[in-house]
Amino acid sequence: MEYFHRAVHVVISSIADFMEIRQALEIQAAGLAAVRRTPEELEQIEGLLRDLKGSLPDVDLFVKRDTELHLLIARATHNAMIVHILSSIRDVIAEVSREGMSRRYDSRQLATVRTLHERIVERIAEADEEGARTAMREHFDAIVMSIGHTQK
C-alpha cells in the first residue's frame, strides 16, 4: 500500500496514471458486482449509499463513506484480486476523492455527485452489468473533470 501512496506523490501526472488504473478496475468491478452480488451485499451497498447521501456537506465524512462504498462494490465482485488491489490503495482513493470534492463548489455539483452514485447502485441492484459499467464510467469521467487531470 505504501508504494501506491508514494507513487502518486512523485509527479502530478501520477494522479492521471492512478485514475486510469482505478477506472479500469472499478468499471470492471461495477459490472461484476451487478451479476455476482448477493442480496445481503446489495443491502449493505444500498445502506451505505443512504449514509453517503446524508453525509454532505461534511467532506471528510463523505470521503470516508465514498471510499467504503467503492470497497463494498469491489467485495461484491467476489474477485479477491480486485478487493486486494483496491483495498491496498484506499488511502490514495480517499485523498483523490477529497481533492475532487474540494473543487465542487455549489449544490448543483454536489447533487451530481449523489446522482452518479445512485445510478451505479441502481444498476447493480437491477443486475445490469453493462449499465453498472456505464454508470461507473460516467462517475469517473466526472471525477477526472473535477480534478482537472484529463490528460497526462
| pLDDT per residue as tens digits for the range 24-57 | 999 999 999 999 999 999 999 999 999 998 887 7
Q: How far apart are CA 128 and CA 69, in angstroms?
A: 18
Q: How confident is the model at residue 3 (pLDDT cuts 50, 70, 90)?
A: low
- For Cα atoms 91, 152, 143, give the angle at the middle one, nearest 5 degrees: 50
| The architecture CATH gives domain 2-147 | Up-down Bundle (1.20)
| pLDDT per residue as tens digits for the range 4-26 | 555 544 444 578 788 889 999 99
Q: Where are the domains of the chain?
A: 2-147
